[in-house]
Every structure is written in C-alpha cells, then in structure tokens.
Amino acid sequence: MKRFDESDLLSFCTQQKHRFVAAAWEERAVGHKDLIAVVAFFLASMRWYGHRGALLAVADKLHHGCAEHFPSLVVETDFDCARFAEMLKARFSHEHATF
C-alpha cells in the first residue's frame, strides 16, 4: 500500500470509528475492493475499534470469504497490519490529548 493511500485510509478509518456508515466503506472500495475488505476484516478483530459485526459484513460483501483468504489478501495488498494499527491508535490518542 502506498503511503498516500495509507494516510487517506487512516483518516477515513478515524472518521468511521466515530460515525460508522457501511455504505461509505463500499464507496471507498471502488477500485480497491480487496484492500478495503482487508482493512475492514482487520479492524473487526481489534476490540478497541468497535463495529465488529458491521465490519465483518462489509469485508465479506467486498470479498466473499475474506476470513479464509485474509493472509493471502494481506500479501497481495501489501497491508502492514501492525503499522496500520499503531498509526490508527496514535491518531486516536492525538484526538484525545489535551493541551
């Protein structure tokens, strides 16, 4: 995944954590179905993110059987799970920091 795409996706996921809209994920997936399916499935497994059921539904709708294909999709989309999670958590921490 390109860094520009990653930054854009981090912003999107930050917004969605606070106000989840499944249709927005589907719109975001145009031209990037596998990547958005991977991100949705990955975030569904993160208890701190929330929206588990809705994210699993989005992932399966975008890539049927995403759960079974997740490891290969991660490789195909060049999605760095650990990096993405840490960067997303950092954005949330920054939002809640008081100066």
Average pLDDT per 10 consecutive residues for the chain, totaling 99 residues: 83 95 96 96 96 98 96 96 96 72
Tokens 């993160």 locate to 46
Q: Residue 47: its pLDDT value, please?
A: 94
Q: Residue 11: its pLDDT value, please?
A: 95
Q: Residue 95: its pLDDT value, please?
A: 74
Phi-psi region of 12 (alpha: psi -120 to 50; beta: other; left: phi over 0): alpha
Spatial CA neighbour of 35 closest among 14, 20, 13: 13
Q: Residue 96: its pLDDT value, please?
A: 67
* CB 46 within 8 Å of CB 13: no
Q: Residue 10: its pLDDT value, please?
A: 96
Q: Residue 84: its pLDDT value, please?
A: 96
* CB 51 within 8 Å of CB 44: yes
